[in-house]
Structure 1
Amino acid sequence: MSMSLPPPRVTDPAAFGRVAVLLGGDTSEREVSLDSGAGVLEALRSRGVDAQPVDGVPALLAALQAGRFDRVFNILHGGAGENGTVQGLLDALGVPYTGSGVLGSALTMDKIRTKQVWLSEGLPTPRYERLAKGADLRAAAARLGYPVFVKPSSEGSSVGVFRVLSEADLAPAIEFASRYDGELLMEQMVRGDELTVGILGDIALPSIRIVPAGEWYDYHAKYVAEDTQYLCPGLDGEDEAAIRDLALRAFRAAACSGWGRVDVMRDRERGLQLIEVNTAPGMTSHSLVPKAAAQLGCDYAGLCWRVLEQTL
């Protein structure tokens, strides 16, 4: 299945005016966001864009009230950057920004509600239990059946994720749940291939199959390890067409737009299973959307340009 990206809509960097690259913030994903933001900033400047870093939402608000910027490249991972807060602020101020709007951002930041929407649309996703504060994790795992994953419903970058193969492995997750104030998601573990599909506008990019050197794709494998393999495209022929179609349908069902990434597992028995959507994907040296865009001849700087074009 051959495909290509359409040509850029504009070639003059002056068309973007003054661009704030929103990064950092105060969430558990701060360091990843700083890394992503540094890459985006360098890429935009290499193309002649007047881009400046802005660390966190209070600094952004002050800068916009002072009239310093015309648009925002949002690479603030987690928290206010992805839960609809920044999007609502920028909508209220009439400032264009990259990525999904309020609804898509808020919905997909919550993994449980995203799954509820997908199920209502008949889209495949693993069985799960919603765990409120104080919930009985042992009882939930018994209902689902081992193995399971336990993770916060509204965090990213594999923060606070526990892989539970049997009841003997449940203690760390129970201890974490006792300290964590938000909802947790317990999800049936899918045994099979781990894949992801980047979305750019109305195009699903080539899938990537992730093959970590360890047993699973955790925070270390994502951001530190140099021996994780990324196979792109991740599937062949009709299977590749099917995963791209599913990812695009899932992205749209969750009211997302602009750009993002849909994580998918391929179960040996149940086929493709949707896991989650990321509306401000990583843009570090290890990140996946740039790898997929490169398969279509679009380098990192070109990808940043195309994402920013969507604000025009």
Structure 2
Amino acid sequence: MSLPLTGHHVAVLLGGPSSEREVSLVSGAACADALERLGAKVSRVDAGADIAQVLTGLKPDVCFNALHGPWGEDGCVQGVLETLGIPYTHCGVLASALAMDKAKSKAVLAAAGVAVPGGGLYNRFEAAKAHVMPPPYVVKPNAEGSSVGVFLVFEGANGPPQEIVAPDWTYGEEVMIEPYVRGLELAVGVMDGKAITVTEIVPKTGFYDYESKYGEGGSEHIVPARMPPHALEKAKKLSEMAHAALGCRGVTRSDLRYDDINDIMVLLEVNTQPGMTPTSLVPEQAAAQGVSFDQLVLWITEDAYARGGAGRIASSGEASGQSAPER
């Protein structure tokens, strides 16, 4: 019996020019390996300015977008793929652009009834002069991922982080500043509009920064999170609401904070292209529900192919079909 993707050509977009290039290379390699195990012809494409020309020459049946960060995750590459008429994984142009812009996505989410932190956008030079709100608070770029350029300002801090006005700052002229919500760091994967489960993240450094996310042993993931049943359900519900409000499709991951003392939960942001590295949260959540990494990659690919109007990929595997695997 043939493998699920036998006879199909998948271009895996990886790398790219963003600050999250290294993570994307690892995600893309893992997904490309899985696609090959599933029988696909795979072209690994390190996405650059010539992406349209490269894909026009390759003529893939579908693109698996494993890019992270600006350009690959903010609607730009999605627009190129729409123009070329190539089916692609994850969210479309508008949802990608909205989710990457923290200020705009927060406005949409709040209007949809999703609890989000307060705060707002500030010019980075103004924000560096004096505290714009009483500490503790969080400073982050408005359009980056993977906790790149994020600073936690603790109570008693003499002033704002001066890194945001350093000459090597490349994350835009405006920064998002939000009140810090104490408590548990949570992540919820959403697949086909339904929450998978809730992960509690315990960073070894006390802050879930880039190293905690991607470094070996940088954080402990507890699945499911150690929370009361009502809080687990609320995390799932908020994540499903956010996925729908932004017009997302395929697989997303929402990041949340839960103040377990005061029973307050807020949704921080929605990641439209969750990491697919060995330490990534969505593959780990899927595995906890009995969905293997290869099954997850197959479902994401099938979902994109079906939406592209080419019909469902003929599959003999458990993850075949247009609905998500049982979770």
What TM-score comes out, normalization by structure 2 length? 0.86
C-alpha displacement of 1:66? 1.8
Amino acid across the alignment from 1:38 = A
Question: Is 1:63 aligned to residue 54 of structure 2?
Answer: yes
C-alpha deviation, 1:67, in angstroms: 4.5
Residue pair 1:150, 1:173 contacting (<8 A) in 2 also: no
CA offset at residue 295 of structure 1? 1.1
Report the Cα distance in structure 2 between the residues aligned to 1:105 and 1:176, rounded to whole angstroms.
Answer: 29
Distance 1:192 1:177 in 2: 34
Aligned to 2:313: none
Of 243, 257, 282, the residue aligned with 1:251 is 243
CA contact (8 A) 2:128 2:161 kept: no
Task: Identify the residue that residue 158 of structure 2 maps to in structure 1.
Answer: 168
Conservation of the 8 A alpha-carbon contact between 1:29 and 1:78: yes
- Equivalent residues of 2:151, 2:161 under 8 A apart: no
Q: Mean alpha-carbon deviation: is it higher for 163-172 or for 176-185?
A: 176-185
Aligned letter for 2:281?
Answer: L
Q: CA deviation at 1:212?
A: 1.2
Question: Is the CA contact (8 Å cut-off) linking 2:16 and 2:67 kept in structure 1?
Answer: yes
Shift in alpha-carbon separation, 1:38–1:270, aligned structure 2, 3 A: same
Corresponding residue SS for 2:49: helix
Corresponding pairs, count: 300
Report the Cα distance in structure 1 between the residues aligned to 2:247 and 2:163, rounded to whole angstroms.
Answer: 31
Q: CA deviation at 1:116?
A: 1.1
Deviation at 1:173, TM superposition (A): 4.0
Q: Which amino acid aligns with 1:254?
A: L
Q: Deviations over 1:143-186 (max 9, x none)?
A: x3210111100011111111111442524344349944332101
Q: After superposing the two structures, state which structure 1 stretch, 94-103 or 127-136, moved more.
A: 127-136
CA distance in 2, matches of 1:95, 1:309: 13
- Partner of 1:154 in structure 2? 143
1:13 to 5, 13, 32: 5
The corresponding residue for 2:311 is none
Counterpart of 2:254 in structure 1 is 262
Question: 2:314 maps to what in 1?
Answer: none
Distance change in 2, residues 1:44/1:236 (3 Å): farther
SS of structure 2 residue aligned to 1:217: coil
* Pair 1:230 & 2:221 matched: yes
* 1:6-155 superposed matches below 5 A: 12-14=4-6, 17-139=8-130, 141-142=131-132, 144-155=133-144
- Alignment partners' CA distance in 1, 2:239 and 2:54: 36
How does the TM-score come out when normalised to structure 1? 0.90
Go from structure 1 to structure 2 and tell me whether the alpha carbon gap of 1:128 and 1:156 turns closer, same or farther (over 3 Å shift).
Answer: same
- 1:243 Cα deviation from its structure 2 partner: 1.1
Question: 2: distance between equivalents of 1:246 and 1:129?
Answer: 21
1:303 aligns with 2:296: yes
Conserved 8 A contact 2:128-2:162: no
Hey, what does 1:6 align to over in structure 2? none
SS in 2 for 1:276: strand
RMSD, matched Cα: 2.0
Q: Distance in 2 between matches of 1:77 and 1:182?
A: 21
Sort the Cα spacing of 1:260 and 1:237 in 2 relative to 1 into closer, same or farther, 3 A. Answer: same
Tell me, in whole angstroms, the C-alpha distance in 2 between the residues paired with 1:80 and 1:215.
Answer: 30
Which runs of 5 or more residues in structure 2 are unaligned? 307-327
Q: CA deviation at 1:213?
A: 1.6
Mark the CA change 1:87 to 1:171 in structure 2 (over 3 Å): closer, same or farther.
closer
Name whichever of 268-277 and 208-217 sits farther off. 268-277
Deviation at 1:273, TM superposition (A): 0.3
Q: Distance in 1 between matches of 2:105 and 2:168?
A: 24
Is residue 221 of structure 1 aligned with residue 212 of structure 2? yes
Aligned mate of 1:273, from 266, 276, 280: 266
* Distance apart, 1:201 and its partner CA: 1.1
- Residue 163 of structure 1 aligns to a residue whose secondary structure is strand
- Structure 1 unaligned regions, length at least 5: 1-9
Cα separation, 1, equivalents of 2:59 and 2:164: 47
